[in-house]
C-alpha cells in the first residue's frame, strides 16, 4: 500500500452535510462526518502535500475512495454508530482490573452487567498483555475463559475472545465466542490464522511489535501513523493469504502496544489514516497510561473521565468500536455525542 491519503479538514453535523452536497467535502468512512482536505502520503520520508479533495491526483483516487466509503458490515453488528466493546479480564494481573473478575462466577455476572449497560460485544481475555507481562500457558488461559464465554453466550451475549493462542481460539469459538481479538494480529501462533479461516469468524487484528514482554523496546518510529497503517496492511495481506475474508477483518492501532505516550498522542489525531485499509477501526484507550499522564492520575481505575474524552476523540476520527472498561458511561457518552452531531 504505497499511496495513502490522510483525511484533514474534518467537518461535523450540518456543516458536513452542506459541504458534501456542494462538492467541497467527502464523507469520512461513509459519514456522518466529512473531510475537505487530504494529505497525500507516498513512500517518501517527507510529509506529503495537502490539497482539497477535488484536486486529488489520479494516482491517489483509489485511496480517496477507500477513506470515504463506509466499511463493510462487520460481525453482524450495527454500522450506524460507534459500537461499545466491554473489557472482561478473567486474570489476576491485568493493569487496570486484574483480579476483579478472576472468579468465573464474578466474571459471568460482570459480563451480563456489561451487556445490560449497552455493550455490543463483551471481550473475554485470560492473559494479561500489559507491558512486560509474562505469557500465560494456553491450557491455563482456556480454563479461565471458556466457562465464562460458554455461560455468557448461553444467555445471548455477543462475546469475543481476547487471545493470541490458536488452542484458546478454537476452544472459545466452540464455547460460543463470535469474534477473535488477537493483539498479535495472528502473528504469535502459526496455527491461529488457520483456526480463524476455518471458523470463518470475524477477527480483530491489532498492531504490535514484538510481544508484551518486549514491545516497550520497539517504540521507535519515523511516522507512527503511516508505519502502523502499513504494518497493519501487511497483517491483513497475511490473513487474506491464509483464507480469511477482508470483510471479516477489523483493525486496531494498538494504543500503548509498542508505543510510548508520545506515539499514542501522535497517532490518535491521525486515526483516520487507517481508513485506507478498508476495515472497521477498533480503538482501546480505556484507562491507559498516556491518559494518566495527561490527567495527572496515577491510578488506572480513576481514569474514566479521561478515557471518555479519548474515546470520543477516536470516534470523531473514524473509530467504529471503542474497547472500554466503563460500559455504561461510554454508551451514555456516545448517545450524547451523537445528539450533539444531530444524529438523534
Domain boundaries, the chain: 4-68, 83-340
Residue whose C-alpha cell reads 511489535 in the numeric block: 209
Question: Model pTM greater than 0.85?
Answer: yes
Angle, helices 327-340 vs 104-117, to 10°: value is 10
CB-based contact 268:305 (threshold 8 Å): no
Proportion of the chain above pLDDT 90, given as a percent:
82
Question: How far is it, in rounded angstroms, from Cα 303 to Cα 6?
Answer: 30
pLDDT of residue 297: 96
- List b or e across 131-155, with b for residues whose CB sees 16 or more CB atoms inside 10 angstroms: bebebbebeebbebbbbbbbbbbee
Band (102; pLDDT cuts 50, 70, 90): low
- Say whether 323 is catalytic: yes
Q: Are 195 and 166 in contact (CB under 8 A)?
A: yes
244 pLDDT band, cuts 50/70/90, is very high
pLDDT tens digits along 248-262: 999 999 999 999 999
| Mean of pLDDT values over 191-201 | 98
* Residue 51 grid coordinates: 490539497
How many whole angstroms separate alpha carbon 67 and alpha carbon 312?
Answer: 19
| Pair 86, 324: CB distance under 8 Å | yes
Cell of 46: 517527507
State the catalytic residue, choosing from 230, 235, 288, 303. Answer: 288
Top-confidence residue, 282 or 219: 282
First to last CA, the chain: 37
pLDDT at 51 over 80: yes
259 counts as catalytic:
no
Angle of helix 192-199 versus helix 166-175 axis, rounded to 10: 20
Give the count of beta carbons closer than 10 Å to the beta carbon of residue 92.
12
83-340: CATH topology: TIM Barrel (3.20.20)
Catalytic residue chosen out of the listed positions 66, 178, 270, 323: 323
> E strands of the chain, at which residues?
4-11, 26-27, 34-41, 50-52, 83-89, 121-125, 159-162, 179-182, 203-206, 249-252, 282-283, 321-324
Instruction: Select from 323, 242, 310, 241 the least CA-distant residue to 280.
Output: 323
Amino acid at each position: 500500500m504505497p499511496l495513502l491519503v490522510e483525511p484533514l479538514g474534518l467537518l461535523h453535523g450540518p456543516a458536513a452535510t452542506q459541504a458534501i452536497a456542494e462538492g467541497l467535502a467527502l464523507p469520512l468512512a461513509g459519514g456522518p462526518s466529512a473531510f475537505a482536505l487530504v494529505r497525500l502520503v507516498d513512500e517518501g520520508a517527507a510529509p506529503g502535500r495537502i490539497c482539497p479533495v477535488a484536486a486529488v491526483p489520479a494516482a491517489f483516487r483509489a485511496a480517496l475512495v477507500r477513506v470515504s466509503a463506509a466499511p463493510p458490515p462487520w460481525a453482524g453488528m450495527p454500522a450506524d454508530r460507534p459500537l461499545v466493546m466491554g473489557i472482561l479480564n478473567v486474570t489476576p494481573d491485568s493493569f487496570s482490573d486484574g483480579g476483579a473478575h478472576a472468579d468465573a462466577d464474578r466474571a459471568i455476572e460482570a459480563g451480563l452487567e456489561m451487556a445490560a449497560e449497552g455493550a455490543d460485544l463483551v471481550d473475554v481475555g485470560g492473559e494479561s498483555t500489559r507491558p512486560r507481562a509474562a505469557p500465560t500457558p494456553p491450557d491455563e488461559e482456556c480454563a479461565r475463559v471458556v466457562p465464562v464465554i460458554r455461560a455468557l453466550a448461553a444467555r445471548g451475549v455477543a462475546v469475543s475472545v481476547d487471545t493470541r493462542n490458536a488452542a484458546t481460539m478454537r476452544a472459545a469459538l466452540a464455547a460460543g465466542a463470535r469474534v477473535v481479538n488477537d493483539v498479535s494480529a495472528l502473528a504469535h501462533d502459526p496455527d491461529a490464522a488457520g483456526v480463524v479461516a476455518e471458523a470463518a469468524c470475524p477477527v480483530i487484528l491489532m498492531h504490535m511489535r514484538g510481544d508484551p514482554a518486549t514491545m516497550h523496546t520497539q517504540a521507535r518510529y519515523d511516522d507512527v501513523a503511516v508505519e502502523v497503517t502499513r504494518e497493519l496492511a501487511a497483517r491483513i495481506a497475511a490473513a487474506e493469504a491464509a483464507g480469511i475474508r477482508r470483510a471479516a477483518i477489523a483493525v486496531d492501532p494498538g494504543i500503548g502496544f509498542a508505543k510510548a505516550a508520545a506515539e499514542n498522542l501522535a497517532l490518535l489525531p491521525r486515526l483516520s489514516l487507517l481508513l485506507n485499509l478498508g476495515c472497521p477501526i477498533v480503538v482501546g484507550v480505556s484507562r491507559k497510561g498516556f491518559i494518566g499522564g495527561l490527567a495527572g492520575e496515577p491510578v488506572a481505575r480513576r481514569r474514566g473521565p479521561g478515557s471518555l474524552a479519548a474515546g470520543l476523540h477516536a470516534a470523531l476520527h473514524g473509530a467504529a468500536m471503542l474497547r472500554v472498561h466503563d460500559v455504561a458511561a461510554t454508551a451514555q457518552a456516545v448517545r450524547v455525542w451523537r445528539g450533539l452531531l444531530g444524529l438523534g
